């Protein structure tokens, strides 16, 4: 009995053939574009799917008459500022080429490089505020760094025009979850091929390559010339270098693997157990060995070291989970060390890396200024250590004036306070914060918030040590759990319920 032939994914080109399928899709793009005056926004990451999508749109619109280019096509790419440097350079240059070619050929494309607001950047949140490295349980990075910049741009287009059509390179074959989401939105389509955008009102989603398989994308990119002057074979080479086995084989049947599974993203990403693409780049090309310091920092960020984090949450509260305090933000020493390692890595890469990365910025000057402000103003770390760390790592002075030119609390006073407190870090931070709060309010006409700020400092710094805080939190949790309802204790003298900070306030007063 003959064995049953193994079936695999069906190519989108199999039914009509390669050219006929593209002609049909081209006609679809043209029809949608000419149907109304709603501007288009094309999401572009520089990867294979978004490149194929943008290329399809460009070629379709190039066949129209110039007077039919009646509305703009915005090409947006979000740079998180911590993208893989190789990919970031590729995308930046590609956007420049899109604008250059659009002007030369009178095409309606306008490319935009979007970045997160400085307070939302990765390093401001991790080094400045002390947020722990992102994890599946605390994924604070994606919305701040990728979604928000794009949504702000699309919202601006909607406000100016009343509506927007967002063109994406999403494909059902990417994952079962992606396929389920796309099929769900298909049921609510108000126009043919246009799905509602669940996150942004008055915008519709168009996914021209939604039914393409992975190999269909590569077939198209290798057989159709890039219209804005890029070389798609270079894109294939970049994917090849990021593949673990270093190969992109010719796909001849359904059992042959493809290098298209390589994925690029932020080089600091700790949502995955291993950065396989960067590891493969370093392994497959000795000219990319300069990326090793980045991989070392990323791997250290992924290490869950509780000793680097405060026992208090960002608010100053102590919360218990399974008998232990939930770790809070990174301690001051850990944040300073992350900054030092980052600046040292940037300095080393600029000196030892290839020509194209001699101006590499791992952290921008606006981010450094915001981190410094966060440390000194928000966290009351008045010793203002950032300029010294910068000078030590970079070998040049930090280009900024002191935040407090007339501060009476300088380096000598900080050293004296540390000496007096010895190893009592908690009360060193408490006294430092109390002095900083008083000094900040000293110059205010109205000091109405002074006592609230002082009380907040006392609440944070009341504990003897982490063990003391843990025992108090456990006591409070036990008391809340065993509390007798009011209607059941009539005639019975209520038991005193220990509160987290009431006792501390009394002891501090004494």
Secondary structure of residue 396 in the 3-state scheme: coil
For the chain, the 3-state helix, strand and coil shares in percent, each to the nearest 5, are 55, 5, 40
At 300, phi and psi to the nearest 5? -70, -35
Residue 192 is classified by DSSP as T
Q: Which pLDDT score is estimated for 500? A: 43
Residues 206/217, Cβ–Cβ less than 8 Å: no
Residue 405 pLDDT level (bands cut at 50, 70, 90)? low
Whether 121 and 367 have beta carbons less than 8 Å apart is answered as yes
pLDDT in tens, 271-329: 888 888 888 888 888 888 999 999 999 999 999 888 999 999 988 889 888 888 999 99
Coil, strand, or helix at residue 380? coil
Report how many helices (DSSP H) and strands (DSSP E) the chain contains, helices first. 19, 8
Task: Report helix angle 276-284 to 292-302, nearest 10.
Answer: 150
124 pLDDT tier (thresholds 50, 70, 90): very high
Q: What angle do CA 265, 228, 221 make, to 5 degrees?
A: 60
Q: How far apart are CA 228 and CA 42, in angstroms?
A: 15
Helices 232-241, 48-62: axis angle to 10 degrees equals: 170
Contact between 92 and 79 under an 8 Å Cβ cutoff? The reply is yes
The yes-or-no verdict on residue 8 having pLDDT over 80 is no
Instruction: Provide the pairing of β-strand 320-321 with 324-325.
Output: antiparallel
Q: CA 324 to CA 318: how far, in whole Å?
A: 10
Q: What burial letters (b/e) apply to 33-42, b meaning 16+ CB within 10 Å?
A: beeeebbbbb
- Mention every residue, 6+ apart, whose C-beta is less than 8 A from residue 203: 154, 158, 163, 164, 165, 166, 197
- H helical segments located in 353-400: 365-373, 386-394
The larger pLDDT score, comparing residue 227 to residue 200, is at: 227
CA 194 from centroid of its chain's CA atoms: 28
CA distance 221 to 215: 10
* Nearest alpha carbon to residue 259 among 251, 247, 250, 275: 247
Q: Where are the beta strands (DSSP E) in 96-237?
A: 109-114, 164-167, 194-196, 203-206
Q: For residue range 338-385, list pLDDT tens digits in order.
A: 999 999 999 999 999 999 899 999 999 999 999 999 999 999 898 899
What strands, in cross-sheet order, belong to the sheet with 194-196?
109-114, 73-78, 40-43, 164-167, 203-206, 194-196
Three-state DSSP class for 325?
Answer: strand
From CA 94, how far away is CA 308, in angstroms rounded? 40
The values of phi and psi at residue 115, to 5°, are -130, 155
b/e 172-181 (16+ beta carbons within 10 angstroms → b): bbeeeeeeee
9 has pLDDT over 50: yes
Of 81, 64, 82, nearest in space to 73 by CA: 64
| CA–CA separation, 136 and 22 (whole Å) | 39
With bands split at pLDDT 50, 70 and 90, how would you rate the model's confidence at 173?
Answer: low
CB contact at 8 A, 134 and 304: no
C-alpha span between 42 and 53 (Å, rounded): 8
Cβ–Cβ < 8 Å for 270, 122: no
pLDDT (0 to 100) of residue 286: 85
Phi-psi domain of 395 (left: phi exceeds 0; alpha: psi -120 through 50; beta: other): left
Region of poorest pLDDT, from 149-158, 292-301, 378-387, 437-446: 437-446
CB 380, CB 409: distance < 8 Å: no
The tokens of 238 are what? 């970049």
Quick: pLDDT tens for 21-36.
999 999 999 999 999 9
Answer yes or no: are the C-beta atoms of 295 and 310 closer than 8 Å.
no
CA 60, 63, 64: angle at the middle one, nearest 5?
A: 100
Q: Are 196 and 71 in contact (CB under 8 A)?
A: no
**Cα-flanking dihedrals φ and ψ of residue 167, to 5°?**
-100, 120
138: exposed, middle or buried (C-beta count within 10 Å: 0-12, 13-18, 19+)? Answer: exposed
Q: Output 123 or 455, whichever has higher pLDDT.
A: 123
Say how many CA atoms lie within 13 Å of 451 toward its Cβ: 1
Task: Give pLDDT, residue 408.
Answer: 64
Residue with tokens 């990119």, as numbered in its chain: 221
Lowest mean pLDDT among 323-337, 461-475, 481-495: 481-495
HEC letters along 58-120: HHHHHCCCHHHCCCCEEEEEECCCCECHHHHHHHHHHHHHHHHHHHHHCCCEEEEEECCCHHH
Q: Give me the mean pLDDT over the 252-277 stretch.
A: 65
CB 62 within 8 A of CB 107: yes
């Amino acid at each position: 009995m003959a064995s049953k032939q193994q079936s695999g994914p069906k190519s989108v080109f199999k039914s009509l053939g390669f050219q006929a399928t593209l002609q049909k899709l081209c006609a679809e793009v043209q029809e949608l574009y000419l149907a109304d005056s709603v501007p288009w926004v094309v999401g572009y990451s520089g990867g294979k799917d978004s490149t194929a999508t943008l290329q399809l749109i460009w070629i379709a619109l190039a066949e129209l008459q110039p007077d039919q280019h009646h509305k703009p096509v915005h090409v947006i790419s979000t740079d998180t500022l911590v993208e893989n440097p190789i990919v970031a350079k590729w995308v930046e240059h590609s956007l420049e080429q899109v604008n250059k070619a659009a002007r030369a050929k009178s095409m309606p494309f306008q490319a935009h490089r979007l970045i997160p607001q400085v307070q939302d950047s990765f390093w401001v949140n991790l080094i400045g505020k002390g947020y722990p490295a992102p994890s599946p349980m605390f994924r604070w990075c994606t919305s701040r760094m990728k979604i928000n910049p794009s949504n702000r741009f699309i919202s601006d287009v909607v406000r100016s025009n009343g509506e927007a059509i967002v063109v994406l390179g999403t494909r059902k074959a990417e994952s079962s979850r992606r396929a389920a989401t796309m099929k769900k939105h298909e049921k609510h389509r108000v126009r043919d091929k246009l799905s509602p955008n669940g996150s942004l009102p008055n915008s519709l989603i168009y996914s021209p390559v939604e039914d393409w398989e992975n190999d269909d994308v590569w077939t198209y990119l290798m057989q159709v010339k890039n219209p804005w002057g890029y070389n798609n074979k270079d894109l294939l080479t970049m994917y090849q270098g990021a593949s673990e086995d270093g190969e992109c084989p010719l796909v001849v049947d359904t059992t042959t693997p493809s290098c298209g599974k390589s994925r690029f993203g932020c080089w600091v990403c700790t949502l995955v157990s291993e950065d396989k693409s960067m590891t493969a780049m370093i392994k497959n090309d000795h000219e990319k060995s300069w990326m090793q310091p980045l991989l070392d920092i990323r791997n250290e960020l992924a290490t869950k070291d509780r000793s680097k984090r405060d026992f208090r949450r960002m608010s100053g509260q102590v919360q218990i989970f399974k008998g232990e305090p939930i770790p809070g933000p990174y301690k001051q020493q850990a944040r300073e060390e992350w900054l030092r390692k980052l600046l040292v890595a940037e300095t080393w890469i600029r000196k030892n890396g290839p020509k194209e990365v001699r101006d590499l910025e791992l952290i921008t000057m606006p981010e450094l200024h915001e981190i410094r402000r966060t440390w000194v103003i928000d966290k009351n770390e008045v010793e203002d250590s950032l300029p010294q760390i910068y000078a030590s790592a970079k070998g040049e002075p930090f280009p900024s004036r002191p935040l407090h030119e007339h501060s009476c609390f300088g380096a000598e006073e900080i050293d004296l306070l540390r000496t007096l407190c010895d190893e009592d870090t908690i009360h060193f931070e408490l006294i430092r914060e109390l002095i900083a709060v008083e000094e900040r309010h000293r110059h205010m006409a109205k000091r109405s918030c002074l006592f609230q700020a002082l009380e907040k400092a006392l609440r944070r710094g009341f504990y003897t040590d982490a063990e003391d805080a843990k025992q108090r939190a456990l006591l409070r949790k036990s008391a809340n759990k065993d509390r007798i309802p009011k209607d059941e204790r009539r005639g019975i003298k209520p038991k005193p319920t220990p509160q987290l900070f009431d006792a501390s306030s009394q002891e501090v007063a004494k």
